[in-house]
Copies of this chain bind each other. A is one copy, B any other.
Amino acid sequence: MATLTDVARRAGVSPAAVSRHLNGRITLPPQTRARIDAAVAELNYKPNLLAKRLSTGRTEAIGLVTPEIDNPFFGELAAIIEEAAADAGYAVYITSTRGDLSREITALGRLRERHVDGLILMTNRPDDGALAKALSGLSNVVIVDEDVPGAAQPRIFVENSAGTRLATEHLISLGHRRIAMVGGPPGLMSVTERQAGWEAALAAAGLPPGPRLLGTYTRAHGRAAAEQLLAEGLPDAIVACADDIALGLLEALREAGVSVPGDIALTGFDDMRYAALIDPPLTTVRQPAAQMGRLALAHLLTLLSGGEVAPVTRLPVTLIPRSSTAPSKVPTP
């Protein structure tokens, strides 16, 4: 590989001149410029990024910390962010933490060690303060989708409570009265808020809350919840706090011979790809993944250039009615 010095020698100037010319920090007379450009072309010179980075302290890379890159929702977010980052000249390090604190911390370490310029952080774990502590003092971080209580970094969420409120209102308008909620990990902000939306809609309609089953954001939890509800007596409808949970509910209910939406209505949350393709197509609350991804990157770029950014941004969600919800068979009084 040709180095800057090789180019300089060939062009008959100093390395400094070449460096400054290439970075647009000096205006040289046309002939000199032409000689340098020619030398660059002839030697097929490519700057060594490592050297550049060491020198400037900037890496032109960002990190993306996701709980699970193979979850379509995070995959979509990652794809958008990667594309937008590439357009802005940044490479992306992706970490799939699988909900493991130590891998989250490792990723933060990369920022501390100036291995990346900034970080977009997503977690799906209730934090006991360890992650917040690891975040303290770090700038150039944007928290997305799920809160890390106690952290000072800017964050981007969706209107969680509005989402479940919409879903619950939709179910109520279809004539359902006894509406259960199956949620994710207790203590997680998104779960708390989604629960609040469900409760608010019920309260507004003068209905008592149905059963509430928290657990994890997994298909397995959906299955377990279905079994519990089957044992205790099925409600009219279920509001699931994630599409994955809804999928588990659906499987277990179908196996038990319960028809969705014939016997029970079901709503999800996320609108992951495939939510429309399952049987029955899932009524769900759409999170604007693409918009979140783009905004997260935009925020991060603003931070990187020394700008300021709103401490909390909330993006709207929309209810996508499909076939997993149908009018109640019990006539509305």
Contacts and interface: CB of A to CB of B under 8 A. Distances in A.
B72 A70 contact: yes
A93 to B, nearest CB: 6
Contacts of A68: 79
Interface stretch (A29-37, A45-53, A124-132, A305-313): A45-53
A42 interface: no
Interface in A49-70: 49-51, 53-54, 59, 61, 68-70
Interface of A: 1, 46-51, 53-54, 59, 61, 68-72, 75-76, 78-79, 82-83, 86, 91-96, 98, 103, 106, 109-110, 112-115, 247, 250-251, 273-274, 277-280
Given A49-B115, A75-B70, A86-B103, A278 B274 contact: yes
Given A50-B54, A91-B110, A110-B91, A98 B69 contact: no
A71 B78 contact: no
A279 B282 CA distance: 12
Nearest to A219: B277
A71 B76 CA distance: 8
A61 B98 CA distance: 20
A113 B78 contact: no
A48 B114 contact: yes
7 contacts: A1-B114, A49-B114, A69-B69, A69-B94, A82-B95, A94-B94, A279-B279
Contacts of A251: 277
A82 B96 CA distance: 7
Contacts of A71: 75
Contact of A95 (B49, B75, B86): B86
Contacts of A94: 69, 78, 82, 92-94
